Chain A
Amino acid sequence: MPHPHRRLKRSGLTMPIVTDRFISNAWHRGCDFINMDLEDSVPPALKGYARSLVRRSIPVVNKGGADAVCRINHDLMEADLDAVIWPGMVHVNYPKAEYGHEIRRMDEIITRLERERGIRPGTIAIGANIETAVGVANAYEIASASPRVRDFGGASGYDMSRDLGVEMFVGFDQFVYGKGEVELAARALNLEPRAAPFTPNITGSVSDPDRAFAEADAARQCGFRIGGGLHPFVVEPQNRGFTPNDAEISDAHWVLDEYRKLAVSNETWVQIDTQSLTPGDGPGPLDSSDNPNLRHRVIDRYEAARAAELLEWARLCADRDREKDEAIARVRAAADADAT
């Protein structure tokens, strides 16, 4: 079910806000969001300088239609919030969230700053990121601490590995329990789960486009909608991987057609051997010749709900892509006008 505040987050680049060449050039990469980092990629001596850059960087990263997002420091939360809550900002990532009271405090500060600075109340979302064992233990309390927490996930990645004292790139899933706790909390609270199926990775590469596509595609097919990365090479593959392709859209229309037939039959489900169908002009099911799991398809209210969600998601993706294309075209047209 799309959240009323849902903003697409298929792709996003996280970059140190103090590195001007990253911030200045990120807008034309096609990201759904750009995450300006004040935390781990900014050395302690530059934290104050980093804060001074946020307000003026928001329009820079917004130029290509990307949402402005930032990641603040766990231990400098109040000072950082004062520097980042400005018009144009839509989401603040709070790393290493461990207690509900941290999120409630953030909510109070953001609520005041939104009103002081002319931002529509409730605009800014909180990314309460679970990256420690304490955070896992308090996952439900954290996720339920503020309505600004709209998507929720974590319990894996660099910081979690460090907290548990384990190597991150081992080729199997080390975080089944913690990720399960966090995802169950998200789902129990009706938040968008920020998760992905496990795919083995022993290289730790952050710039491999094929891998980025495969991961995004697997995540989307598992029902997940949120990506993000560190290298420009992964942006386009993530946008593509998180967007339904034409065959899937046709399949969703086929499922809904079959469900409409089922609904008048007083049966609750039917199984269809898709290889027994003669291809017609209308929408048809996914090709099962490469994937025998797709041959016998059940049609029921669950499949219909998935199909409807997929079509809604495809529409949102298309709208978002158009929005970004138009924004980038506007910047380029303005630049051309300046040049002549």
Chain B
Amino acid sequence: MPAANQIRRSWLLVPASAAPRIASAPASGADVIILDLAEFVAEPNKPDARDAVPAALDSVKAGGAEVFVRIDPQLMLADLNAAIRPGVAGVVVSRLESAAQIAEAAALIDRLESQRGLLPNSVEVVASLETAAGNHNGFEIATASPRVTALTLGRADLAMDLRPEPSGEIHLMQYLMQRLITLAAATGKLPLGAWWRAPDRGLLATPENTLAAAQRGRAIGFRGSMCVLDNQVAPLNDGFTPTAAEVAEADAIQSAYAAAVQSGAASVVHAGGRALTPNLVRQYAQVSALAAACAIREEFKSAALSGRPIPLP
């Protein structure tokens, strides 16, 4: 059962070099804001972007978002040095290709946590598997460190040059998504992604297409997704939250089951045309719990944004 502070449906990528984007991000409603030091920062802007991270870590929290920093594995030392500070929830490592890179990142994070007074092992790592090698080595990467808490394909469509098929599906993506979700479930990590279709490209889509991608993505097991623009956040939050109808059905089924168990009437309970097993009822309970946790998360973010007292979880 997810805790309210682990509801991470929308992960908004904001270039750490883009002051206006950092200023607008808190009002987007993102569950997570990722300050990007990787591919959305042009090469000449990288030093300034790193310098901007400490202040931005603080200011982008204004809307109640958790804050991650996305780093480039080829600039691990410089980027982690900028990112690992009090207030950072974790780092997204773009274009990860091997378990050795995770080990390298983890060792640097160990040291920086200790030097800078962060709780040991508190900084999470999101493994972004955007290349063929990264996906091929996905299991080793996922299990290389307990810091790895989530897996994503990031912008694999661009990094691997995967293009739309005549059907509108992006080539190879159905396989890669299933593979990543299976790997994540097998290793106890959070699978992040959405089922994008042409013309969606590199996490960029219209709000309507983002909602559809989130809904399809949730249906195959994703729990949240990264995005590029502020106006994609609300559709991701919506798409990864159980609908009112789903919650009503889940509640009704749990009630029917509880009532039947109470009365001792039957060993197999039928509701809504389904035979209810304890496992199935537990799954409906998870839908209700997820919806409740999402509601708490929304309340928390809206209180943070308006300066109201933050409700206790």
A binds B: yes
Q: Which residues of B contact A188 (CB under 8 A)?
A: 132-133, 135-136
Q: Given the interface contacts A177-B175, A187-B160, A267-B42, does A197 sit within 8 Å of B204 by beta carbon?
A: no
Q: Does B199 contact A (CB under 8 A)?
A: yes
18 A-B pairs whose Cβ atoms sit less than 8 Å apart in the complex: A176-B174, A177-B178, A179-B175, A180-B172, A180-B175, A180-B179, A183-B172, A184-B136, A184-B179, A188-B136, A197-B167, A222-B164, A222-B171, A223-B163, A266-B42, A269-B40, A292-B199, A302-B158
Q: How far is the CA of A300 from the CA of B15 in the complex (A)?
A: 15
Q: How many A residues are at the interface, by size bracket?
A: 20 to 34
Q: How far is the CA of A198 from the CA of B166 in the complex (A)?
A: 8
Q: Is the CB of A305 within 8 A of B161?
A: yes
Q: Does A185 contact B (CB under 8 A)?
A: yes
Choose one: B40, B166, B172, B204; the contact of A268 (CB below 8 Å): B40
Question: How far, in Å, is B231 (CB) from chain A's closest CB?
Answer: 13
Choose one: B44, B161, B199; the contact of A223 (CB below 8 Å): B161
Question: How far, in Å, is B204 (CB) from chain A's closest CB?
Answer: 7
Q: Which residues of B contact A300 (CB under 8 A)?
A: 158, 202
Q: Which residues of B contact A197 (CB under 8 A)?
A: 165-167, 171
Q: Is the CB of A218 within 8 A of B172?
A: no
Contact pattern, A 177-199, Cβ under 8 Å of B = 1, otherwise 0: 10111011101100000000111
Q: Which residues of B contact A223 (CB under 8 A)?
A: 161-163, 171
Q: Which residues of A contact B104 (CB under 8 A)?
A: none
Closest residue of chain B to A181 (Cβ to Cβ) is B175
Q: Which of B156-194 contact A (CB under 8 A)?
A: 158-167, 171-172, 174-176, 178-179
Q: How far is the CA of A302 from the CA of B95 in the complex (A)?
A: 14
Q: Which of A131-185 contact B (CB under 8 A)?
A: 140, 176-177, 179-181, 183-185
Interface residues contributed by chain B, number (CB under 8 Å): 33
Q: Which residues of B contact A296 (CB under 8 A)?
A: 199
Q: Does A306 contact B (CB under 8 A)?
A: yes
Q: Does A8 contact B (CB under 8 A)?
A: no
Q: How far is the CA of A176 from the CA of B41 in the complex (A)?
A: 36
Give A contacts to B, CB under 8 Å: 140, 176-177, 179-181, 183-185, 187-188, 197-199, 218, 221-223, 266-269, 271, 292-294, 296, 298, 300, 302, 305-306
Q: How far is the CA of A140 from the CA of B135 in the complex (A)?
A: 13
Q: Is the CB of A222 within 8 A of B136?
A: no
Closest residue of chain B to A217 (Cβ to Cβ) is B166
Closest residue of chain A to B161 (Cβ to Cβ) is A223
Q: Which residues of A contact B216 (CB under 8 A)?
A: none
Q: Does B39 contact A (CB under 8 A)?
A: yes
Q: Is the CB of A306 within 8 A of B135?
A: no
Q: Which residues of A contact B172 (CB under 8 A)?
A: 180, 183-184
Q: Given the interface contacts A188-B133, A198-B167, does A293 sit within 8 Å of B199 by beta carbon?
A: yes
Q: How far is the CA of A64 from the CA of B264 in the complex (A)?
A: 84
Q: Does B220 contact A (CB under 8 A)?
A: no
Contact pattern, B 126-169, Cβ under 8 Å of A = 1, otherwise 0: 00000011011000000000000000000000111111111100
